[in-house]
Structure 1
Amino acid sequence: MRKPLLAIAAAAALVTSGAGAALAVGPDDRVGVSGTDLKTDEIGRSANVKHLANIAPSGVLAQGVGTDLAFQDDKAFVGNYDGFSIIDIRNPKKPKTIVQVSCPGSQNDISVSGDLLYLSTDSSRSDDSCASTSQSATIKESWEGIKIFDISDVKNPKYIKSVETACGSHTHTLVPGKGKNNKTDYLYVSSYSPRDTFPDCKTPHDLISIVKVDTKNPTSAAVIATPNLFPDGGNPGGPGPTPIASRSATTGCHDITALPHKDLAAGACMGDGIIMDIEDPEKPRVIERVRDDENFAFWHSATFNADASKVIFTDELGGGGAATCNAAIGPNRGANAIYDISKYGRLDFKSYYKIDRHQGPTENCVAHNGSIIPVAGRDLMVQSWYQGGVSIWDFTDSENPEELGYFERGPLPEGAGTGGTWSTYYYNGHMYSSDIARGFDVLKWVDPSTKKIDKQVMDELNVQSQPKYKVR
């Protein structure tokens, strides 16, 4: 039984004013040095990547885990296992924290839409408030799902609504309703790992949850559909491609990326990769499905190129906590897979891409979140690899991808555990990175090909809802 939204006083998040300021970035970066040649927390980068600023973890989020990013006008919104922060990026060399909001709940995947901010909770909590504590999912009254905040006053975000979803919300994808006067947001909620002992997350779980939000009346938000994407049960799983992890059975999706202007979405669904027709956003329909039982362990995320002629799927081998960027694992596992998309929506595998900068045995490293860089005539992407850092790469030739630039830190101090960059996205001329342990970084890729697009100004970006980019 869903626990009702608590009274505003009880549900209110702890909001604090800006607690972090940009640190001066020194001249001691090791240009051309990477991987195992870097010492603890040393910075290595290619000559064409500049490290402009860093905001270290602080305040109520100091002990949390940095997660995903969204953007609106001159602000970055940064998820954290303990809540989220809003950062002023008007001057990318001197970003400033506007506010921090304490609202614990893994992973706090984040998106923004006008005056609304959406936050995913994928850890079983005692209730739906921002003062909740961990509580077993075997208890019926436990809560997890979507939280909605009013950010019309960015200095004072207000928690206004919760929506419980089956198995919580590991990630969510914003799919805007149609029409010039659209007043509807749809959230495609991805969740997985059901158990028969969980009252609100029982097997089978071959579905996603769709939350419909009236943006003029967001407190009426509710789950309006739970479409079954895998009527046959999906990939049954099995022995893994490496000893690190077994091949995942499909019990839901991990992440979905929508391409609204093409009425398409790509789903990374544990053991399967799918393409969906989302012409009717309330009734998504799977039109293509692929598997890679030889090399993929866990289908994690997806990214279209600008004209939807290609899609990149990532394999999060080891769940993000393992050291997979080494010779033993090789170049095809824990990697990206590049697929061409035919005019009929069929997927044709072309090649793998993985950073060849080998990392040390304590450095968790695997393909993770990134976004395209919309340069005319080319397919470029910037991407996070946890402690493998940031990679800028070219997949114009689908069969021969290549790295163009990088930024990374040396290993965390001994015993510090998991770290590295969770997400890195291109937005209005710069690249912004959310590092699990080291905070918020601003990077600049200096390349002649970006001169035109660097001058473009977007007013909002949720990477998992890819816009119709103006490629130049």
Structure 2
Amino acid sequence: MIRIVRHVALAAVVAALAAPAVTAQSYPAGGDPRDGLGSGLTTAGLAMEGMRLVASAPKPAPFDSVRGLTFVNSDLAFGGHYIYQGNFAGFSIWDVSTPANPRMVSVVECITSQGDPSIVGNLLFVSAEGGGNRNDCAKGGVQDPSEHMAGVRIYDVSDPTMPRLLKNVQTCKGSHTHTVIPDPKDAGVVYIYVSGNQGARTDMEGCVSGDDPADENNSLFRLDVIRVPLANPEQAAVVTGARIFTGLDPAPSRSGGRARSTGPRNCHDVTAYPAMHLLAGACASHGLLVDISDPMRPKRLDAAADTNFSLWHTAVFSNDGSKVVFTDEWGGGTSPMCQATSMLEMGGNTTLTIKDGKYTQHAYFKIPTGQGANENCVSHNGGLVPVPGRDIMVQGWYQGGVNVIDFTDPDRPIEIAYFDRGPIDAPRAPGDTAARGRGTIGGSWGAYWYNGLIYSSEMARGLDILELQPSHYLSANELEAARLVRYEQYNPQSQPHITWPAAFPVVRSYVDQLERGNGLPAARITAIRRALDGAEQASGAARARSLRTLAGQLEGDVARATDKARVRALAAEVLRLAGN
């Protein structure tokens, strides 16, 4: 079933079929510190709230160009103290063991035309899609189809100073993006779902073009699936096609007519949540929900379409799997779609809840500032910030900067922190029609929390490292609890399930949230904090007794609480801390 939302008036309630009303924000009123920042590639003005800039590292010399998209940075993957940064012309590896002084470890020049990376153990997977990509990574373009590489490159990065190409896995439509999904029964195998936007490469054996989505031989209406035996990555190969589009009707256009004669034939990006056996497919005209309990045989559960969404682009699940935020890449990422006059319902996010395998759409969200006409800006990539008890994500908006959003209430997402630079280019002078020096593409491709810090891939400038600061919206306890979550490796499109250790900062995070939301009377909040302080000063059996006593009292608080669920969660965390 497709749930369709049709556009009506700006900033108005939008009618939804089989869903509650979907609301949008009001237009920016002006006066935001991000408005009117000075321009410059390295000298642009800065504005930030609730975070600080730890470091900004420039692009390496081989990629130090702002010519179109040829040398822009793309997505990030994380492993240990290394960051793998994609680029349309290759990739870089950064050592961030000292975050204030990130160090370039290696640069691999290899035209990919996007280069999104993922890391599994010592294997780095890199997407390649463009028509000029060569198998041997040489420059000069493709003279013969046998030289062409479009698919996923596999590198050995066991020595990060000398990455070694192991194999090029060719796919029928290339690889715009890809997503790693572990085999649930074999830890030695991963699958790679490949999202490709090219037409079928009919010069390749087994690649067939066509218009019939029901044709099992048609290469267009599927995601290529690569099986990778981790101990023998040279044996990686396409083993099947994920036909998650079959039977899906076309989405209506904004005018009410059909935009295409068929439904989608590819996804721009898919986000897997292996722990929940779910995948959210951002598939151009639709947002899909897919069961991946068997990665070789995925099953579509539901699909959403929205006439306010120009391009369903990427997705982020809440940690409990009850929500998913989809982004809309209106304008393709190269246009200024965040101006004060830009549609608020387009080019931002929408939150969908998930119940019994079905979507219900809720509110829209867009950065609450009017960017300039010389700043490419739209909603782009991000991931969760691991604050217990809340659904918080960090996200890149190209030249709209980086922001942090609380979507715990799917009907009222709010911005709680941001970092922004002024435009790369100076505003165009009246009457200036020259192209030179204008329209530089830049900004945050994606921003992600990793082991206590936020890392943003700045397309034109390099790598930004940011740190969230305590504020009205985020307490010191919540940030300390978030820093307790540590990843060995992190691929944002293969979302990990977050767990927190039993710790006082986790418990105190729930107390802070109850205070912020008036979930309990102020006097009771004070008493709970006093009890926690006393328990922390004790040890062994005495601490456990104090915590169990407090947990029992909290169960008694539920009846008078205005946020009963959070009080119950607090009581459970107190018991867990007591060792029960």
The equivalent of 2:563 in structure 1 is none
The equivalent of 2:503 in structure 1 is none
Hey, what's the Cα distance between the residues in 2 that align with 1:239 and 1:134?
39
Does residue 143 (structure 1) correspond to residue 149 (structure 2)? The answer is yes
Aligned residue identity for 1:427: Y
The equivalent of 1:217 in structure 2 is 232
| CA-to-aligned-CA distance 1:156-186 (integer Å, 9 cap, x gap) | 110010110111000000001225x610011
Aligned residue identity for 2:192: L
Q: 2:54 aligns with which of 44, 52, 55?
A: 52
Hey, what's the Cα distance between the residues in 2 that align with 1:220 and 1:362?
47
Check conservation: 2:271, 2:495, Cα contact below 8 A.
yes
Check conservation: 1:206, 1:233, Cα contact below 8 A.
no
Quick one: structure 1 residues 292 and 198, their matched pair in 2 at CA, closer, same or farther if it must change by over 3 Å? farther
Shift of 1:413: 2.1
Quick one: structure 1 residues 152 and 67, their matched pair in 2 at CA, closer, same or farther if it must change by over 3 Å? same
Shift of 1:233: 5.6
Aligned residue identity for 1:104: I
Hey, what's the Cα distance between the residues in 2 that align with 1:132 and 1:149?
19
Hey, what's the Cα distance between the residues in 1 that align with 2:32 and 2:245?
46
Q: How does 1:41-440 map to 2 (within 5 A)?
A: 41-63=43-65, 64-125=71-132, 127-135=134-142, 142-179=148-185, 182-194=187-199, 202-204=209-211, 205-232=220-247, 234-235=249-250, 238=253, 250-293=264-307, 295-342=308-355, 344-414=356-426, 415-440=438-463
5+ residue gaps, structure 2: 1-30, 66-70, 212-219, 427-437, 471-475, 501-505, 507-580
Hey, what's the Cα distance between the residues in 2 that align with 1:136 and 1:254?
28
Quick one: structure 1 residues 451 and 252, their matched pair in 2 at CA, closer, same or farther if it must change by over 3 Å? same
The equivalent of 1:24 in structure 2 is none
Among all aligned residue pairs of Structure 1 and Structure 2, give the percentage whose two residues are the same amino acid.
Answer: 36
Quick one: structure 1 residues 260 and 99, their matched pair in 2 at CA, closer, same or farther if it must change by over 3 Å? same
Indicate the SS of the match to 1:363: coil
Shift of 1:279: 0.6
| CA-to-aligned-CA distance 1:169-212 (integer Å, 9 cap, x gap) | 00000001225x61001100001242798875734422100000
Quick one: structure 1 residues 136 and 259, their matched pair in 2 at CA, closer, same or farther if it must change by over 3 Å? farther
Shift of 1:428: 0.4
Q: 1:454 aligns with which of 469, 483, 495?
A: 483
Check conservation: 1:212, 1:221, Cα contact below 8 A.
yes
Hey, what's the Cα distance between the residues in 2 that align with 1:459 and 1:191?
29
Shift of 1:91: 1.4
Shift of 1:416: 4.9
Quick one: structure 1 residues 377 and 247, their matched pair in 2 at CA, closer, same or farther if it must change by over 3 Å? farther
Q: Larger deviation: 452-461 or 251-260?
A: 452-461
The equivalent of 2:34 in structure 1 is 34
Indicate the SS of the match to 2:108: strand
| CA-to-aligned-CA distance 1:252-290 (integer Å, 9 cap, x gap) | 000000000111110000001101100111111111111
Shift of 1:235: 2.5
Quick one: structure 1 residues 363 and 261, their matched pair in 2 at CA, closer, same or farther if it must change by over 3 Å? same
Q: CA RMSD in A?
A: 2.4
| CA-to-aligned-CA distance 1:46-74 (integer Å, 9 cap, x gap) | 34210011111122222311000000111
Q: Larger deviation: 312-321 or 324-333?
A: 324-333
Shift of 1:133: 4.0
Hey, what's the Cα distance between the residues in 1 that align with 2:159 and 2:459?
27
Aligned residue identity for 2:445: W
Check conservation: 2:55, 2:101, Cα contact below 8 A.
yes
Check conservation: 1:248, 1:297, Cα contact below 8 A.
no
Indicate the SS of the match to 1:169: coil
Check conservation: 1:237, 1:247, Cα contact below 8 A.
no
Question: How many pairs does the alignment contain?
Answer: 435
Check conservation: 1:43, 1:407, Cα contact below 8 A.
no
The structure in which a higher percent of residues are strand is 1
Check conservation: 2:188, 2:231, Cα contact below 8 A.
yes
Quick one: structure 1 residues 438 and 175, their matched pair in 2 at CA, closer, same or farther if it must change by over 3 Å? same
Indicate the SS of the match to 2:36: helix
Check conservation: 1:269, 1:300, Cα contact below 8 A.
yes
Indicate the SS of the match to 2:234: helix
Q: Provide the TM-score with structure 2 as the length reference.
A: 0.71
Check conservation: 1:340, 1:349, Cα contact below 8 A.
yes
The structure in which a higher percent of residues are helix is 2
Hey, what's the Cα distance between the residues in 2 that align with 1:62 and 1:110?
19
Shift of 1:92: 1.1
Hey, what's the Cα distance between the residues in 2 that align with 1:32 and 1:231?
46
Check conservation: 2:223, 2:266, Cα contact below 8 A.
yes
Quick one: structure 1 residues 389 and 126, their matched pair in 2 at CA, closer, same or farther if it must change by over 3 Å? closer
The equivalent of 1:466 in structure 2 is 495
Aligned residue identity for 1:455: L
Indicate the SS of the match to 1:437: coil
